[in-house]
Amino acid sequence: MKPVTNTQVETFVRHQLDVASGSDSYRERIPSGLSTVEYCFAQLTRSAFRRTRIDDDSAQDVRRKLEEATRVQRPIALSIPFGGYKNYRAASFPGPDWAEIFNMNYLIRYVLPLAQSYEPGVTIQYTYSSGVMDLVSNIPASATVTYMEQFRSLLSIFTTCLPPNLRMTAVDISTHYPATELLAELRHNYEDNRTGWGVKFSAGERERRIASARRNLMRVGAVDLSSLNESEWDAHCVDAAMWCEALDSLTLRRRFNKYSENIQLVFVRGPGLSVHIGSCDTSAHHFWSGCGAIELSAGGLRQRILSAEKLSGYRQERLVREAQVRTVFSTVSETFDQVTVLTPDGK
């Protein structure tokens, strides 16, 4: 395979902002014979972006919300629950990297047909809860603040390139709670998990949740856990899994994301009343817990999001190189002065 040049890589990352080029205004694009609801439903569930079959309850939920939005002529609202932090293993920690950019680009392309065919447009809402990740995954509060500041800056850059009826925003669920009520509910949910953990989930589901919590839990973060022995660390990882479930179960979080006018998008199989899509062109890995890279294939350059562990393995096999690039994203962080390129033949 012919080696890719830095110029080609730089062109690829610059074009991440060209996703809505030529789409600066509303244009009727609905094929003859289809209603707005039918067309928008078909676009939201199209196989090019959808990862798994949409179940009947979720399909009915999406249709109902599309019908209501079009009836009152308000924007179609999408919610994307995410962590609001970067996994500490990523080189860019505590800030975002190319994974966030690839996801924003991907979601814009996903919803662009709706904005072009429905004049009130679309609102993409990334939702998270601030002020809790030190408790849940031992991530320092300052790290999550830095992440969200840079994440919003990336959103702002994309916003300048979007048609006026396509909006992107970050929504802090914590602001929906009065004073200390979020932490009170979070602790209540955690205690409920401690009591019923053994019966609430199957053994396989518990192990999956514990493994996920282990990947995010910092040994040296908000507090220093480096002195824990293996057994104590394992117990702490179980504890972190209970906190993660407590966070996911917050009443106002679930209410906003899927028990409201919002259509929930997820990157994993399983959650009800959701549409399961990819996180970028080639991946379903959560962008905030992964690393963004460019994949070189026979078809050209492609977006990729992968774990820091897998990326490290590629580095050891000499299947990775760093390309220096100059883009507007460098105004957010020096992380964006270069991008990782995966080269399957080592060139």
One-character DSSP codes across 137-201: H---HHHHHHHHHHHHHHHHHHHTTS-TTEEEEEEEGGGGS-TTHHHHHHHHHHHHHHHHHHHHS
* Separation of CA 18 from chain center: 20
Query: 3-state class of 26 per DSSP?
Result: coil
In the chain the beta strands, taken as DSSP E runs, fall at 76-81, 122-128, 166-172, 263-266, 274-276, 291-297, 300-306, 320-324, 338-342
Portion of the chain with pLDDT greater than 90, in percent:
90
pLDDT at 76: 98
Percent of the chain with pLDDT over 70: 97
- What's residue 241's pLDDT? 97
Structural contact between residues 256 and 176, judged by C-beta atoms closer than 8 angstroms: yes
Domain boundaries, the chain: 6-18+36-342
* Residue 309, helix vs strand vs coil: helix
- Please report which confidence band the pLDDT of residue 255 belongs to, taking 50, 70 and 90 as the band edges: very high
- CB-based burial, 85-118: b 16+ in 10 Å, e otherwise: bbbbbbebbbbbbbbbbbbbbbbbebbbbbbbbb
Please enumerate in sequence order all residues whose Cβ is within 8 A of that of 56, keeping only pairs 6 or more positions apart, or say none: none
Yes or no: say if 82 and 124 are a contact pair by the CB < 8 Å rule.
no
Q: Give the pLDDT score at 67.
A: 98
Separation CA 71–CA 74 (nearest Å): 8
Mean pLDDT of 293-317: 93
pLDDT, tens digit (0-9, with 9 covering 90-100), for 205-226: 999 999 999 999 999 999 999 9
> Tens digit of pLDDT for each residue in 56-112?
999 999 999 999 999 999 999 999 999 999 999 999 999 999 999 999 999 999 999
Mean pLDDT, residues 224-230: 97
User: What 3-state class would DSSP assign to 322?
Assistant: strand
pLDDT of amino acid 347: 55
Residues in the chain: 347
Q: Give the β-pairing of 338-342 and 291-297.
A: parallel
Per-residue pLDDT, 20: 76
Per-residue model confidence (pLDDT) at position 344: 75
Tokens 């009130």 belong to 120
User: CB within 8 A of 80, min separation 6: which ones?
Assistant: 107, 124, 125, 126, 127, 264, 265, 266
Cis peptide before 120 (omega within 30 of 0): no
Q: Looking at residue 3, what is its pLDDT?
A: 78
Q: Say yes or no to pLDDT of 346 above 70.
A: no
Distance (Å, rounded) from C-alpha 320 to C-alpha 316? 9
**How many Cβ atoms from other residues are within 10 Å of residue 33's Cβ?**
7
Measured in whole angstroms, how far is the alpha carbon of residue 93 from the centre of its chain?
Answer: 16
Distance CA 24, CA 116 (A): 9
Rounded alpha-carbon distances, angstroms, from residue 201 to 145, 151, 178, 247: 33, 33, 31, 16
193-205 residue pLDDT tens? 999 999 999 999 9
**For residue 343, what are the CA distances in angstroms to 10, 296, 323?**
16, 6, 12
CA dist., res. 128 & res. 149, Å (int): 13
Phi, psi of 220 (to 5 degrees): -120, 100
Query: What is the model's pLDDT at position 28?
Result: 79
Antiparallel, parallel or unpaired: β 320-324 and 338-342: antiparallel
